[in-house]
Structure 1
Amino acid sequence: MLELLRQDTDIWDIFTRKEEYDSGFRDGFGRFPHYLSSSGSPFEPSVSEYLHDRGYRIEYPDGHPFAVCLTHDIDTVYQPSIAKAYTALRSLKSGDLPGGLAGILQLRSRKLPLCNFRDIMALEEQYGATSSFYFLALAPGDEDYAYDVRELEAEVGAIADAGWEVGLHGGHRAYCDLQQLQAEKKRLEAVLNRSVVGYRNHFLRFQVPKTWRCLAEAGFAYDTTFGYADCVGFRNGMCHPFRPYDRTAGREIEIVEIPLAVMDVTLDIYMRLDARRAWEITRRIIDAAERCRGVATILWHNTSLGDGQRRFYEKILKYSAEKGAWMTGGAEIARVWRNHD
């Protein structure tokens, strides 16, 4: 693959993210934003199209023509009491006495309704899909500490035992702090009682190429952070997994990147799209991955499963299934790509 990419200087610069080495500007979370990029439309996987036109192909299991990588970042598992109280009050005011009383009883339960992992898996199973769940493994006092992963041992174990993947959702500093990254990985592995191979950083914090170097040294098999927070699409023109190239060191980094294409928060908060426009762009991303026999990676938080958001996520599953996509998590995508490579 690298030999093909090196034949075109512009393609090579997009693929290796040359402009991110040269730029000193970052947003408040240390991220390189899409609005600074000069590499063309993020909705078109220009580098993957270049490879596809030159015969690059990945063979997916059971003859699937392309893949959709389904992922969930677990930022919180406990609904705040004030939110539960508001829901209960709204039910009572609307005359729904059973719903209101049930809501009041939930005030004593920390885990309802956001420990919805089994519900997510059941929905995906209807479409023959599996996915990856990335859990924070922060210590008390860490920024955005919202839960202790040790309290979720049963839930985490049930996810893994069912055949879905459990990966690490690295904290705010993990993307550039090897010691912090290793500590979080070790904490999650102690709960899971098995190795953790997959990763995505909180708030999509990422620095080219430093984050890839840290992840490789920490022993991760793959990352799937690499995308824009402020815009959906293909950050380096790739809708295929790839091994990153370190322009500074002049060599590949021993980790697989499965680039992120669509995040729910990006559609809703950053891009401020209504449901119709959000679906048009999401469908365009999936269609582009199909065209290149690539991978469309979807990030859907467990907190984004209210009625409308759930219907949107199910629409992604249904559309992808109808197209014959292989819908699975990051570990399986990385395994197939490594075998191909």
Structure 2
Amino acid sequence: MYNILQQDPEMWHLFTCKEEYDASFRDGYDRFPHYMSNNRQVFEPRASQYLFERGYHPEYPEGQPFAVCLTHDIDVVYQSYPKKGFDLLLALAYGNRAGLMQGVRNLRSPKYPLCNFEEVIALEEEYDATSTFFFLALQDGDQDHSYQVEDLACEIGTIADYGWEVGLHGGHQAYADLQKLKDEKARMERVLGRPVAGYRNHFLRFRVPETWELLDQAGFLYDTTFGYADCVGFRNGMCYPFRPYHGRKHQEIGIVEIPLTVMDCTLDSYMRLGSMQSWDIVRHLIDTVERCHGVITLLWHNTYLTGDRMKFYEKILRYCREKGAWMTGGDGIMKLLNP
């Protein structure tokens, strides 16, 4: 892969993220945003297309034409009692019987409905798909601490028993702090009862190439943080998993990156797209990845897997199944396509 890309300086600079090494501006979360990038063709995986045209053709199980890496970040699982009470009163005011029954169930469970992992698994099973769930393992006082991962041991065990993967969703500071990475990984592994292979950082906080180096040192096998928060698409022109290349040390970094293509909230919160516009762009990205036998990585939070947003996710699954895609979690991609 490296030898092919190095033949074209433009492709090599795109792949290695040369522009990010000395970037003087980063956003409030220390992220390099797309609006500061020179990559104005972000909806086209130009580096992967270049590789494909020169004979790099990944293969998938049973000859499937491309792959979909399905992932879920679990930021929140508890719903406050005032919010539950408001929903119940709203259902009562509108005479919504189904809403009333749902509201009563919500009051009885501190985690319902955001602890919807089995519903997500059941939906994905209908489409012969699996996925990866990334859980936070934060301490009291950490930014955005909203649950103790130990309290979800039963749910996490159920996910693993079904055969779905559980990974670590690193906290706000972990992307730049080796000890935090190690501590959060160890805590997650104690709950899971097995090693954790996959990683994604909270808020997609990431630094090229430092975060890749730290993740490798912490013992992760793959990362899937690498994507823009403010725009969907292909950050370094890649829709293939790859081992990052350190542009200053001129050497490979020993971790697999499964680049992130689409985050749910990027579409509506950052890009401010409606449902029809969102579908058009997601469909374009799927079709584009299919043409070069690549991998499209999707991030759908559990908070986006209810109501109409769940229907949107199912629409994606249906479209990809109709195209014959292999739909799996990060562990499946890593094991098959480990460069």
Relative to the length of structure 2, the TM-score reads: 0.98
Q: Which amino acid in the other structure matches residue 298 of structure 1?
A: L
Q: Paired residue for 1:190?
A: 190
Q: Paired residue for 1:49?
A: 49
Q: 1:97, 1:296 → 2: CA distance?
A: 40
Contact kept, 8 Å, 1:198 with 1:221, in 2: the verdict is yes
**TM-aligned CA deviation for residue 79 of structure 1:** 1.5
Secondary structure of residue in 2 paired with 1:69? strand
Q: Which amino acid in the other structure matches residue 38 of structure 1?
A: N
Q: Paired residue for 1:157?
A: 157
Contact kept, 8 Å, 1:267 with 1:278, in 2: the verdict is yes
User: Taking structure 1 as reference, are residues 98 and 205 closer, same or farther at Cα in structure 2, changes over 3 Å only?
Assistant: closer
Deviates further, 37-46 or 1-10: 37-46
Any residues of structure 2 matched to 1:306-325 within 5 Å, and which? 306-325=306-325
Q: 2:147, 2:201 → 1: CA distance?
A: 16
CA RMSD of aligned residues (A): 1.1
Contact kept, 8 Å, 1:65 with 1:324, in 2: the verdict is yes
Q: 2:176, 2:188 → 1: CA distance?
A: 19
- Name structure 1 gaps, 5 residues minimum: none
Q: 1:11, 1:98 → 2: CA distance?
A: 55
Q: 2:310, 2:12 → 1: CA distance?
A: 39
Contact kept, 8 Å, 1:85 with 1:104, in 2: the verdict is no
1:168-225 superposed Cα distances (whole Å, 9 cap, x missing partner): 0000000010000100000000000000000000000000000000000001000000
Any residues of structure 2 matched to 1:189-338 within 5 Å, and which? 189-338=189-338
Q: Which amino acid in the other structure matches residue 325 of structure 1?
A: A
Q: 2:73, 2:83 → 1: CA distance?
A: 21
Aligned residues: 339
**TM-aligned CA deviation for residue 81 of structure 1:** 2.0
Q: Paired residue for 2:26?
A: 26
Deviates further, 80-89 or 321-330: 80-89
Relative to the length of structure 1, the TM-score reads: 0.97
- Name structure 2 gaps, 5 residues minimum: none
Q: Paired residue for 1:6?
A: 6
Q: Which amino acid in the other structure matches residue 177 of structure 1?
A: D
Secondary structure of residue in 1 paired with 2:70? strand
Q: 1:269, 1:86 → 2: CA distance?
A: 24
1:248-290 superposed Cα distances (whole Å, 9 cap, x missing partner): 1110100000000001000010000000000000001111110
Q: Which amino acid in the other structure matches residue 302 of structure 2?
A: N
**TM-aligned CA deviation for residue 135 of structure 1:** 0.2
Superposed structure 1 runs of 4+ greater than 6 Å apart: none
Q: 1:65, 1:102 → 2: CA distance?
A: 41
State, as a whole percentage, how many aligned pairs show the same letter: 60
Q: Paired residue for 2:117?
A: 117
**2:75 equivalent to 1:79:** no
Contact kept, 8 Å, 1:70 with 1:131, in 2: the verdict is yes
Q: 2:102, 2:243 → 1: CA distance?
A: 50
